[in-house]
Amino acid sequence: MTNQTNNNESTQRTADEVLMADLAAAAGTSGDFKRAVRMAPKLAYRNLFHDRLSLIVTLTGIVFSVVLVAVQCGLYLGSERTIARVIDQTDGQIWIVPLGTKSFDDPSIMAGQEKYAALSVPGVEGVENLLVGFSKWRKPAGGTTTVLLVGSDWTDGGLAPWNIIDGSLNELTAPFTVSVDKSYFKDLGIEKRDDVAEINGTKVRVAAVNKRIRSFTTLPYVFTKRETALTLLGASARAASYTLVRVAPGADVERVRQELAERLPDAEVLLRGEFRKRSLNYWLFQTGAGAALIAGALLGLIVGVVIVAQTLYSSTKDHLNEFATLRALGASGGYIHQVILLQAMISGLIGYTIGMILSLLVIWSAQDTTLNIVMTPGLGGALFAVTLGMCAIAAVSAILKVTRIDPAGVFSR
């Protein structure tokens, strides 16, 4: 047992002696400043990998932070796209909506004269009535759930379900046929195309299956022809939840919007971008969902900074004698700070690489579920900069410790 302990101590001394030799060489005993600068990355690497356990702890903190921030920010971007998905898919530059409508997923029925008022305005090329309503879906094996029924007349250029992977739009022209997203099969109690269920007591057949058309409220979108939606919702022939107006090329969109607003005092006339922004603001900020996602990302950053700072500080404290030797041999404080910062940057690069790989695996595994996580080049670049910045901030505590070293202390050992 004693021999094993002596061997471990001998191994540790050998490693420390190697590090001391490198430190002494880097201090530039021959006055070669350029050689000392070139040695800084080697010193940082050797010092970082000298204690593998501390390195693992450091990388764990960085990877955890990267994955958490990537997923939280990806959820935020995915939430934005999910909320605005249907709005972005339409061609109408102007939306006529019921007064007080907070978002697309907050539908109600308008009086019905909006379409004809819009058609009489100069500069209007086309108008589509979109019928949206909450409905009760009865599963084939029993049980019910709530869905958001979307009825439109896409044969005249209106909104049509997209990303169809099974079936076609032509099959949806048959009476009482619908299109649903594959990720909601379990919620709807169905297994495949051509399954039969009930909406508000009327049998419907799943004639088409789409993918990645998800709702922020988690209620499944069910697309169908406008005529079928009118019957299922028990609405009048002129009923509409939203009236979409396409402006003719060359016409002044704002002038058309103002004239529509004057003719329709009982409705709101919004530009598509305005309605999109209202929907985002409502779900992300008024409901607190966006604040929760941002708070989660900040929490990941804080945890990462704390773990990396503590590990770098401990590593620096364990090698104070070596840094004191550098100071005694004439190395400047800036050179030592450079070594510590390089340690942090190397840790950041390794941790970012591992964290991004894990994040992409999470995003890939969730792409066909109801959870929409998005990774963009911009987010990846921002996350890279944030990770290196986090490591640089974490290195400050270690730098402050080294700054207070008394070089004369090395001679008292």
Contacts 24+ apart (CB under 8 A), 398-404: 398/309, 398/312, 398/313, 398/315, 398/316, 398/340, 399/337, 399/340, 399/341, 401/313, 401/316, 401/317, 401/320, 402/316, 402/320, 402/323, 402/333, 402/336, 402/337, 402/340, 403/333
The pLDDT of residue 31 is 44
Q: What secondary structure does DSSP assign to 39-59, as a single string?
A: HHHHHHHHHHHHSHHHHHHHH
Q: What is the mean pLDDT of residues 78-84?
A: 87
Closest CA to 397 of 332, 341, 326: 341
Q: What is the mean pLDDT of residues 271-279?
A: 93
Same domain, 390 and 320: yes
Flag whether 207 is in a domain. yes
Is 80 exceeded by the pLDDT of residue 8?
Answer: no
Q: What is the mean pLDDT of residues 80-104?
A: 89
Provide the number of structural domains found in the chain. 2
Out of 221, 250, 265, a domain closes at: 265
3-state DSSP assignment of residue 332: coil
Flag whether 11 is in a domain. no
Same domain, 111 and 252: yes
Same domain, 104 and 235: yes
Flag whether 334 is in a domain. yes
Same domain, 303 and 390: yes
Same domain, 242 and 309: no
Same domain, 309 and 354: yes
Indicate the angle between helix axes 377-403 and 333-366, nearest 10 degrees: 150
Q: What secondary structure does DSSP assign to 363-394, as a single string?
A: HHHHTTSS------HHHHHHHHHHHHHHHHHH
pTM, 2 dp: 0.75
d(CA 132, CA 105): 8
Q: Which residue has the higher pLDDT, 129 or 392?
A: 129
Start-to-end C-alpha separation, the chain = 28
Position 372 confidence tier, pLDDT thresholds 50, 70, 90: confident
Out of 203, 232, 265, a domain closes at: 265
Within 10 Å of residue 323's Cβ, how many Cβ atoms?
24
CA distances from 54 to 48, 51, 57, 61, 395 (A): 8, 6, 5, 11, 14
Is 80 exceeded by the pLDDT of residue 247?
Answer: yes
**Most confident by average pLDDT, 31-35, 198-202, 383-387:** 198-202
Same domain, 148 and 254: yes
The pLDDT of residue 269 is 93
pLDDT (tens digit, 9 = 90+) per residue, 362-371?
998 888 777 7
Residue 251 belongs to domain spanning: 100-265
Out of 230, 265, 300, a domain closes at: 265
Average model confidence (pLDDT) across the chain: 81
The pLDDT of residue 367 is 80
Same domain, 119 and 239: yes
Same domain, 144 and 260: yes
The pLDDT of residue 197 is 94
Flag whether 179 is in a domain. yes
Same domain, 245 and 343: no
Same domain, 366 and 236: no
Same domain, 58 and 186: no
Q: Which residue has the higher pLDDT, 289 or 380?
A: 380
The position carrying tokens 């090698």 is 319
Sign of the torsion formed by the C-alpha atoms of 157, 163, 169 and 175? negative
Least confidently predicted of 23-27, 101-105, 314-318: 23-27
